[in-house]
Structure 1
Amino acid sequence: MASSLRRRLQIWYGLVLCGLIITFGILLYGRVRQMQLSRVDVELVAVVDYLNASLRAFPPPLLDETIVPPDDAPPLPPEHRIQQLYANLDFPETTGVGSTGTTREDWYFIVTRSNGKLLKQSENAPTSSLPADRLWPRDRPVLLQDGQVRQALMVGPQDVRILVGKSMHAELAETRWFGLQLLGTGLAVLAVGLAGGWWISGRLVRPIHQISVLAESVSEKNLSQRIETEAIDEELVGLANTLNVTFDRLEKAFAQQAQLTADASHELRTPLSVMRTQAELTLSRPRTVEEYRNALTSTLNAARQMTKLVDGLMTLARADAGQMTPQFEPVDFQQLVSSTVEQLRPLAFSKEVRLNLSVSPAIVQGNSTNLSRVVTNLVSNAIYYNRPHGKIDVQLKTEGDTVRLVVRDTGKGIPEESRDQLFNRFYRADKSRARTSGGHGLGLAITKAIVEAHGGYIDFTSEEDTGTTFRVTLPKAG
């Protein structure tokens, strides 16, 4: 079952558009997600660095409780008391914690000793265990993802463990909302694109539909319509021109068929009229034996003329159908041309035309009966259309891989206006002589069909009042 070109275009366009939208959406979503993580990571690292710097400002005895000041040491200032210092260990005020749309409750930090003893943690810090020791870097913070929590780890002064975390709940919610917006936008773009694609594909196939409608309207009685190439797209001009050429050939073929039918009817009318007239006259009253014989002879000649015409039409019909290729075999073309020319010498003698023959050995692949018909048609035409005391030169020679037959006469030549139509069926360059010779104007058309069926070609040159030369070129056998 034939499928719709417009539907196929729409499907492919939809698939490509959908693929582009999905690819763009994934890339954009990933980029936004990565930007969110990068922003959070920068803030985490900033908080870790701030806490690390704050701890480095603590006096060593206050970080390491194993070191006890001597009894005679002066009391520490209030600001150096460990409780006071730990109380001041908190998020920085200038880093913008909570500036990403979240609250301070989304952040937490934990500061412990290497043995796990807690030094300080924020109020909302989780109670879960800390990461393994191998994950704690000493030179710079490392970033980890723990479920919906983003963490930054670092080992501070005197092996103090610093962990800063942030809940990504707000960011994930924001990302999900962005993904839904992206999905909705993509669906909207896809819908608009599909609608636009359907409209564009409709405009693309509309000229094809118009061409199809015009082609369907062409019939035997309406062959003059053509496609206006000015009104269609440039990409379809080639198709339109091809169809116009096809319509031209079709119109010409119908015209030739109509002309062939008319010409055949006209040619058959004469012998039929002769046969009918002879029969009616013969039967109108009693006749002598000699009169009956003459009437039958006239009727037989008319029947032979009809048979010749029908045989010619059948030959051309087989050529048109591509069936003019009987079993080919090697043919001695030299012998065939010689014997055919010798059979036509009495006719040339009766027309006072000298017939010269010059042949060389030549073998062709073909059908001897049809090839003999070619020679007969060309030589007999040269005899009938020659002038009294004229001459005909028949030459056969081999040229490379081809065999060429040349028939040259000294007749009146072919008029300029008749040369393009010379191989047309029922065409006669000299209509007055055609009637006296009994021809129907099929000889050269049949000759051309036979030559082309043998893989060759025929051409001619002619000069008025000088003569005509026909050349038949055939492939050499072997």
Structure 2
Amino acid sequence: MLTRSLRWRLQLWLACLLVAVLGGFGFTIYQLQRVTVFAHLDEQLARRVAAVSGAVRGGTPPLPGAAPPAKEHFRPHDFAMTPELSALFDATDPDGLSFVVWSREGAVFKRSTNAASDVVRPSRAGSMDTRVHTLTRRGHREAFHFTELGDGVQVGRSFGPEAAALHRFAEWLFAAGAFVFVVAVGGGWWLTSRAIRPLEDIGAAASRISAGNLSERIDVTETHSELGQLAAVLNSTFARLEAAFERQKRFTADASHELRTRLAVIIAEAQTTLARRRRARRYRETIAVCLDAAQQMRRLTESLLALARLDAGETPLPRTIENLARHVSSCVDGVRRLAEGRGIDIHLDLQTAHALANPQRIDQLVTNLVTNAIHHNRPAGEVRITTRAEHGWALLTIADSGPGIPAEDLPRVFERFYRADRSRSRANGGTGLGLAICKAIIDAEGGAIDVASRPRGGTTVSVRLPGPASAAA
């Protein structure tokens, strides 16, 4: 479970990195210290080897660090310890400095009283090898040297004090490393927690939103940081999501209301008619009312289905280059009887305007807009329709002489089931989906639609559809 937490994964990575870095650093420092300690010890041993070797060669023993005597002075002699040479060794300390001298024949020639009894004469690398060599044996550090005549000199000392010092140094390194590790891990936990806290807030807000609280938002304190920008984007997304859910709820409620109203009409007419025997004419009137309500329900379901298909983004219908003026003329012929029944005059000013669009959608768009202009017009009013081509676009304008749309309602005219005058629209058989379908068609075809209106000054709908040049793009 811990490995699933981002905070713990970061901490584990930090801890592993710290262990590797501190371990490597500590090992390197320890080795450097060990080399330094043993180099110092070897230097002490080498100086005493030189002093004893000088005494073996003959002449005054050279002081530590002094040059050896010249080669012509080399001669075997009886080895005797001088006070100066004895001062370099502590014969009373078993772990102190000791020496052993072998003759060229291999016999022990001289030894200090604290030298081990089982010391073995080291082997010589070559007959002319006079270098000082060191070795470690049974807790002692030893330096040995052979003179030019073959006499051997070995000086040794227990390195227990150095080992104890190195052990204390290792403990100090471990303590220092542990302190740095604890401080670094603690600081890393604090920094990680501080960095991840916005992510936890985002997750908690998302959980509350998924539980149904769509009004929940993420508290953004650092707007300029990466997480602040992410929170701002998510808040914007949540706001759009809430608005979409609200529209969906309103859409569902409105659709249910429209269907329920028409069903109520059918049920009421049927119940009233079946309550007692009536004349044939009354039955015909009832059936006509029910038929009209059923047709309104059919138009509503067809509109809902059209919107659902447009929203779902189904396979795009094929687009061809169409003459918008020809489609407008054909659609106006189809609704002219409706206009004449309401005393509405339709004036056409059609210029050739080619659009790259699906012909079925063009017909549906024009029919909806013209029908809407007829329904929302004053008696004996007029509708003016123009088409033209401009800057690579096909333009369609439909203007009526109706009462107009209040300014506060204009931003919502493309919302589904929205009506500026609900009673009048329902009385005319409208569903409140005409302009919403037109907007969905325009969006699917890559065009634009705009509505301008003023009270008692009529309404003008302007449509732009992409021209033939869009086919090459």
How does the TM-score come out when normalised to structure 1? Answer: 0.73
Q: Can you list the C-alpha shifts for 1:311-361, whole angstroms capped at 9, x where unaligned? A: 2223333444x2x41463344533655543543455556511312323344
Q: Is the Cα–Cα contact under 8 Å of residues 353 and 386 in structure 1 kept in the other structure?
A: no
Structure 1: distance between partners of 2:332 and 2:36: 100
State the distance in 2 between where 1:427 and 1:134 align.
Answer: 114
> Which one of 434, 439, 458 corresponds to residue 448 of structure 2?
458
Q: 1:279: how far off?
A: 2.9
Contact 2:355 2:465 in 1 (8 A): no
Distance 1:450 1:50, change over 3 A: farther
Indicate the larger mover: 272-281 or 35-44: 272-281
2:352 counterpart residue number? 359
**Do the aligned partners of residues 458 and 62 (structure 1) sit closer, same or farther apart at CA in structure 2, a change above 3 Å counting?**
closer
Identity of matched residues, %:
33
Give the paired residue count: 445
2:289 aligned residue (298, 322, 331): 298
Is it true that 1:87 corresponds to 2:99 in the alignment? Answer: no
CA distance 1:118–1:328, shift in 2 (3 Å): same
Q: Given the superposition, is the C-alpha separation of residues 210 and 363 from structure 1 closer, same or farther in structure 2, using an over 3 Å criterion?
A: closer
What does residue range 151-166 of structure 1 map to in structure 2 within 5 Å?
Answer: 151-152=142-143, 163-166=154-157
Checking the alignment, whether the CA contact within 8 Å between 1:150 and 1:165 is kept in structure 2 is: yes
CA offsets 1:40-99 (integer angstroms, 9 cap, x no match): 23323433454566658559887325xxxxxxxxxxxxxxxx54x7322875857xx78x
- CA shift at 1:166, angstroms? 4.2
Residues 448 and 464, structure 2, Cα contact 8 Å, conserved in 1: yes
The structural deviation recorded for 1:296 is 2.0
User: Which runs of 5 or more structure 1 residues have no equivalent in the other structure?
Assistant: 66-81
The 1:466/1:313 distance shift into structure 2, 3 A limit, reads closer
Q: 1:34-433, aligned counterparts within 5 Å?
A: 34-48=35-49, 50-51=51-52, 57-58=59-60, 63-65=74-76, 83=78, 86-88=80-82, 91=85, 93=87, 105-109=95-99, 122-123=112-113, 124=115, 126-133=119-126, 136=129, 144-147=134-137, 150-152=141-143, 163-180=154-171, 182-183=173-174, 186=177, 190=181, 208-209=199-200, 212-218=203-209, 222-230=213-221, 236-320=227-311, 322=312, 324-326=313-315, 328-334=317-323, 336=327, 339-347=330-338, 350-364=343-357, 366=358, 368-385=359-376, 388-395=381-388, 399=392, 404-409=394-399, 411=401, 414-429=405-420, 431=422
Residue type of the alignment partner of 2:318? E
Kindly indicate whether residue 8 of structure 2 is the aligned counterpart of residue 16 of structure 1.
Answer: no
Tell me how far apart the structure 2 counterparts of residues 154 and 408 of structure 1 sit (CA, whole Å): 117
The answer as to whether partners of 2:369 and 2:398 remain within 8 angstroms in 1 is: no
Shift of 1:393: 0.9
Q: 1:113 and 1:310 mapped to 2: Cα distance?
A: 122
C-alpha distance in structure 1 between counterparts of 2:335 and 2:132, whole Å: 113
* Structure 1 position 442, deviation (Å): 1.1
Pairwise CA distance, 1:16: 2.2
Change in 2 beyond 3 A, CA 1:424/1:471: same
Q: Note the C-alpha offset of 1:133.
A: 2.1
Q: Would the alpha carbon gap of residues 222 and 346 (structure 1) be closer, same or farther in structure 2, given more than 3 Å must change?
A: same
Q: Which amino acid aligns with 1:306?
A: M
Q: Please give the alpha-carbon distance, in whole angstroms, between the structure 2 residues aligned to 1:224 and 1:443.
A: 31
Instruction: Pick closer, same or farther for the CA change 1:283–1:31 going to 2, 3 Å.
Output: same
Deviation at 1:134, TM superposition (A): 7.3
Displacement of 1:301 in angstroms is: 1.4
Q: Which residue of 2 aligns with 1:27?
A: 28
Gaps of 5+ in 2: 61-68
CA–CA separation in structure 1 for the residues paired with 2:206 and 2:176: 45
Q: 1:179 to 1:221 in 2, by over 3 A?
A: closer
Instruction: Give yes or no for the alignment of 1:470 onto 2:462.
Output: yes
Q: State how far apart, in whole Å, the 2-side matches of 1:447 and 1:135 are.
A: 110
Contact 2:265–2:290 (8 Å) recurs in 1:
yes
Alignment partner of 2:351: what SS? strand
User: Which has the higher mean CA deviation after the structures are superposed, 256-265 or 115-124?
Assistant: 115-124
Preserved CA contact (<8 Å) 2:415 2:436: yes
Shift of 1:308: 1.2
Task: Kindly state the Cα deviation for residue 191 of structure 1 after the two structures are TM-superposed.
Answer: 6.2
Give the equivalent residue in structure 1 for 2:436: 445
> After alignment, is 404-413 or 154-163 more displaced?
154-163
- Aligned-partner Cα distance in 1 for 2:352–2:104: 120
The 1:184–1:300 alpha-carbon spacing in structure 2 relative to 1, beyond 3 Å, is same
Deviation at 1:132, TM superposition (A): 0.8
Distance 1:331 1:343, change over 3 A: farther
Per mean C-alpha deviation after superposition, the further-off stretch among 173-182 and 183-192 is: 183-192
Q: 1:11 to 1:225 in 2, by over 3 A?
A: same
TM-score (norm 2): 0.74
Return the alpha-carbon distance in structure 2 between the equivalents of residues 467 and 142 of structure 1. 112
Amino acid at match of 1:468: T
Contact 2:453 2:460 in 1 (8 A): yes
Secondary structure of residue in 1 paired with 2:430: coil
